[in-house]
Amino acid sequence: GENVEQHPSTLSVQEGDSAVIKCTYSDSASNYFPWYKQELGKGPQLIIDIRSNVGEKKDQRIAVTLNKTAKHFSLHITETQPEDSAVYFCAASGGNYQLIWGAGTKLIIKP
């Protein structure tokens, strides 16, 4: 079955710098790749997603890139701010309702 690996498990960056989180997946049939942000004490919330017919997608300070050949996708956050501190999860889906989740990345923004 599908397996999603996420790195790093913890990422600490200076406020204002960029952060990059990477995920790889195993099932070449996967065609939907969302990213969720989980703040302390809350449930995960979708922040951006990408489908397999698109290589890159941007929404203000966040962007996601997809390389289907290499089977990896990445989340990029530019000009990081304190409110970006959270746990970020990547996931992959092959067309059914189920998402296969990465293990999560704890992003720490240092003032």
Partner 1 sequence: DARVTQTPRHKVTEMGQEVTMRCQPILGHNTVFWYRQTMMQGLELLAYFRNRAPLDDSGMPKDRFSAEMPDATLATLKIQPSEPRDSAVYFCASGKDRTHNEQFFGPGTRLTVL
The site for partner 1 (CB under 8 A) is made up of 32, 34, 41-46, 49, 51, 89, 93, 95-99, 101-104
**Residue 11: which of 107, 80, 77, 111 has the closest Cα?**
107
Query: Taking the CB of residue 105, how many other CB atoms lie within 10 A of it?
Result: 22
Contact 19, 7 (CB under 8 A): no
Indicate the residue among 71 and 106 with the shorter CB distance to partner 1.
106
Nearest distance in Å: CB 14, partner 1:
26
Indicate the residue among 91 and 109 with the shorter CB distance to partner 1.
91
